[in-house]
Amino acid sequence: MLKYDIRDIAKAADGKNRIEWADSHMPVLNIIRQRFAKEKPLAGYTLAACLHVTTETANLVRTLKAGGATVALCASNPLSTQDDVAASLVKDYGISVFAINGEDKKTYYRHIHQALDFKPQLTMDDGADLVSTLHSERRELLPGVMAGTEETTTGVIRLRAMAHDGALAYPIIAVNDSKTKHFFDNRYGTGQSTLDGIIRATNHLVAGSTVVVAGYGWCGRGFAVRAAGMGAHVIVTEVDPVKGIEAAMDGFRVMSMAKAVPTGDVFVTLTGDINVIRPEHFARMKDGAIVCNSGHFNVELDLDGLKKISKSVRTVRPYVEEYTLKNGRRVHILAEGRLINLAAAEGHPAVVMDMSFANQALGAEYLVKLKKPLSKNVHVIPTVIDDKIAAMKLASMDITIDKLTPEQKKYLASWQMGT
Ligand code: ADE
């Protein structure tokens, strides 16, 4: 039965247009959806999905439904839900959605529980809040859950910690670890959408600004390259020595956050860790500095600490809060420290989510078709599936690449031949 809790069903027409626009940029998912509609690999399965409720997610959910699944969708972040998309999913596509943009923490978790009330055999998570709620507050449902997938780096780290503690009750596929996911979504998706969020929120001119990037993983490096491409002077901060060298050899200045703070105009955290920018950093920033986060959770900026050294806070434009510090300087925090690309912009473009969500759809199919269940651990998608997604994407881009000649194959398999 269709159940939902969304902002306003009357927004459905706008949502439908935007879902269709995204769909026209998701050719790989389209091919999968057409096959799923014929073969129904997910028939009889109920799937609880905790994902950013965007136009791209809508097309994933449509694909899962075409494959025969019953889907209950809740949000993986209180600020990322696109209310028109939620409305269209309910009205036009018959999906149960529990997500309202701006929902408070209590509602956010109530919505996760409402998705879990569907008693899923499969879970699809982005950040592992659904899985963690299931393992802590809804353990009675665990025997019915067969397997799951996880979208993002932060979620995979949490799940690996659960598996390490022996706490994970069923196998999970780390979609994030597919090559066709993190090389593209994390790098080009985050790179572009983070800049998009900052610009939409502030209308700041990137050219000539000093942009401090905390974290040089795939997301950080994607963002650093895009910011440099728009004319920013980019400084990278890292804790990992190898990544520090990479950033330096990629041409960026690398230094500690303490050293970077007096020069930065814009600060972006993309680390996945807590309290990366702390009161001792905020206190030494330039007047008017812009600070935001593009990591999964709103923990990377110590906003409680910032409040303690501030004398007032006011909203100066949507998504921009101005903290006036006791030292008289102003710091501008974007989107309450939540991921800027999904809060102030629309997340990654559909072209890149096409590959991420092809991994989700094919990952779900792989899990239900397995002859022998996987161990209660975090697994990667088989390379053949990853490579198949890459081949489909390349074909959709009308790109043909070379094939190894028999002689080249033989050469690569031999060890006798040298100079
Ligand atoms: N994560 C980042 N961008 C996204 C998008 N557009 N849709 C769903 N999840 C996302």
- pLDDT for residue 333: 98
**C-alpha span between 229 and 184 (Å, rounded):** 17
Tokens standing for residue 73: 């969708």
**Residue 167 and residue 107 in one domain:** yes
Domain boundary among 299, 319, 343: 343
- pLDDT for residue 417: 83
Q: Which of 80, 294, 338 to mutate to test the pocket of ligand 1 (most atoms within 8 A of CB)?
A: 80
Domain of 259, in residue numbers: 187-343
What residues are in contact with ligand 1 under a 6 Å CB criterion?
Answer: 51-52, 54, 56-57, 189, 342, 347-348, 353
**Residue 28 and residue 85 in one domain:** yes
The CATH number of residue 85's host domain is: 3.40.50.1480
- pLDDT for residue 418: 84
Q: Which atom of ligand 1 is nearest to the CA of 348?
A: 3
Exposed, middle or buried: residue 344 (CB in 10 Å: 0-12, 13-18, 19+)? buried
**Residue 32 and residue 175 in one domain:** yes
CA of 18 to the centre of ligand 1 (A): 14
Count of Cβ atoms closer than 10 Å to residue 395 Cβ = 13
The string of DSSP codes covering 232-298 is: -EEEEE-S-HHHHHHHHHTT-EE--HHHHTTT-SEEEE-SSSS-SB-HHHHTTSPTTEEEEE-SSST
**Residue 66 and residue 120 in one domain:** yes
Q: Which of 348, 352, 355, 359 to mutate to test the pocket of ligand 1 (most atoms within 8 A of CB)?
A: 348
CA of 270 to the centre of ligand 1 (A): 15
- pLDDT for residue 419: 82
Q: Which atom of ligand 1 is nearest to the CA of 347?
A: 3
Q: What is the signed CA dihedral for 17, 21, 22, 24, rounded to 10 degrees?
A: 140
Domain boundary among 321, 343, 365: 343
State the 10-residue block means of pLDDT for the chain, 419 residues long: 96 98 98 98 98 98 98 96 98 98 97 98 98 98 98 95 97 98 97 98 98 98 98 98 98 98 98 97 98 96 98 98 98 97 97 98 98 96 98 98 97 89
Q: Which atom of ligand 1 is nearest to the CA of 54?
A: 7
**Residue 16 and residue 52 in one domain:** yes
**Residue 255 and residue 313 in one domain:** yes
For the question of whether the overall pTM of this predicted structure is more than 0.75, the answer is yes
Q: Which of 18, 23, 56 to mutate to test the pocket of ligand 1 (most atoms within 8 A of CB)?
A: 56
Helix (H) or strand (E) holding 39: helix 27-39
Domain total for the chain?
Answer: 2
- pLDDT for residue 224: 98
Contact at 8 Å (CB) between 364 and 176? no
pLDDT tens column, 250-264: 999 999 999 999 999
β-strand partners of 73: 49, 97
